[in-house]
Amino acid sequence: MSAPLQSGFRFGSPVGLMLLAVAAVCYAATPSWLNLVAPIVTPAEKKAYRALNPDERAKFEEAFWTGKAITAKEYNDRIAYIDAKFGSTKLGSGANTDQGRVYLALGPPNKISRIPSSRIFQPVEIWYYSIIPGVINTEVSLMFFQKNGTGLSKLYSPTTDTIRALLISQASTVHMFGPNDGLKEEDIRNALKASPAEDEIVSAAVNVAKGVRYSGNDEILGKISSPAYILGIPLTSKVKSRLIAGHPKLDIFEAFSVYGGSQVDFGLEVTAQNKVDVEVLQGDLTVYQNRLNLKFSEPAPIRYTHRLDLLPGVYGVIFKVDGTSFPYNVTVAEHFAMGEILRADETDVTAEHRQSPFSFNSKQLDLNPEGRLVVVAVPQPGTVKWVIRKGVSGVLWRSASEASQVAVAELPRTLPPGVYKLEASTADDVRIADLVVSEKKSPNPVSTLLSFNANLHPALRHAFVGHQWLLRGKLDEARRSLQWSLAKGVTEEARIELARTDALAGKLDLARDEVKSVLAVQPDNFEALSVFAYI
* Residue 212 pLDDT: 74
Domain membership of residue 20 (yes or no) is: yes
Are residues 306 and 452 in contact, defined by beta-carbon separation less than 8 angstroms? Answer: yes
267 domain residue, yes or no: yes
Give the pLDDT score at 8: 35
The conformation of residue 2, written as its DSSP 8-state character, comes to P
Distances (CA, A) of 154 to 197, 339, 415, 463: 21, 27, 38, 47
Residues 286 and 428 in one domain: yes
Q: Does some domain include residue 405? A: yes
Same domain, 502 and 408: no
3 state SS for 466-502: HHHHHHCCCHHHHHHHHHHHHHHCCCHHHHHHHHHHH
Taking the CA atoms of residue 269, residue 275, residue 280 and residue 284 in that order, the dihedral angle to the nearest 10 degrees is: -130
What pLDDT shows up at residue 83? 93
Classify residue 220: in a domain, yes or no: yes
DSSP-derived 3-state class of residue 407: strand
Residue at 132 is within a domain = yes
Domain end position, chosen among 419, 437, 452: 452
Number of domain units in the chain = 4
219, 131: one domain: yes
State the first-to-last Cα distance of the chain, in angstroms, to the nearest integer: 127
Boundary-marking domain end, from 452, 467, 496: 452
Q: Say what the pLDDT of residue 440 is.
A: 72
315 shares its domain with 437: yes
Does any domain span residue 236? no
Q: What is the pLDDT of residue 4?
A: 36
Instruction: Give how far Cα 506 sits from Cα of 368, 481, 511, Å.
Output: 51, 19, 9
Alpha helices (H) along 194-342: 196-206, 215-224, 227-230
Give the span between the Cα atoms of 434 and 227, in whole angstroms: 19
d(CA 296, CA 298): 5
CA dist 510 and 531 (Å) reads 12
Q: Which residues of 37-74 are buried (b: 16+ CB within 10 A; e: fewer)?
A: bbbbbeeeeeeebeeeeeeebeeebeebbeebbbeeeb
Residues 346 and 421 in one domain: yes
Distance CA 434, CA 432 (A): 7
Sequential DSSP letters for 280-320:
EEETTEEEEEEEEE---SS-EEEEEEEEEEE-SEEEEEEEE
Q: Are residues 107 and 184 in the same domain?
A: yes
CA distance 149 to 201: 15
Bridge-partner residues for 305, per DSSP? 267, 451
Mean pLDDT, contiguous 10-residue spans, the chain (535 residues): 36 38 38 88 86 88 85 91 91 93 92 80 89 82 84 87 79 56 69 74 82 76 90 53 59 92 94 94 89 93 95 90 87 83 81 73 87 93 92 82 93 90 88 84 74 89 95 94 94 90 90 89 86 86
Q: What is the CATH number of the domain that holds 486?
A: 1.25.40.10
pLDDT recorded at residue 233: 65
What is d(CA 467, CA 481) in angstroms, rounded to the nearest whole number? 9
d(C-alpha 241, C-alpha 343), whole Å = 12
Residues 293 and 342 in one domain: yes
Closest CA to 341 of 256, 238, 422: 422
CA distance 208 to 199: 15
Please tell me the predicted confidence (pLDDT) of residue 159. Answer: 82
Domain housing 488: 458-534
What SS3 class is residue 426? Answer: coil
How far apart are the C-alpha atoms of 331 and 132, rounded to whole Å?
19
- Does residue 237 lie in a domain region? no
The count of other CB atoms within 10 Å of the CB of residue 373 is 18
The number of C-alpha atoms within 13 Å of 374 and in the hemisphere containing its C-beta is 29
352 with 258, same domain: the answer is yes
Task: Look up residue 353 and give its amino acid.
Answer: H
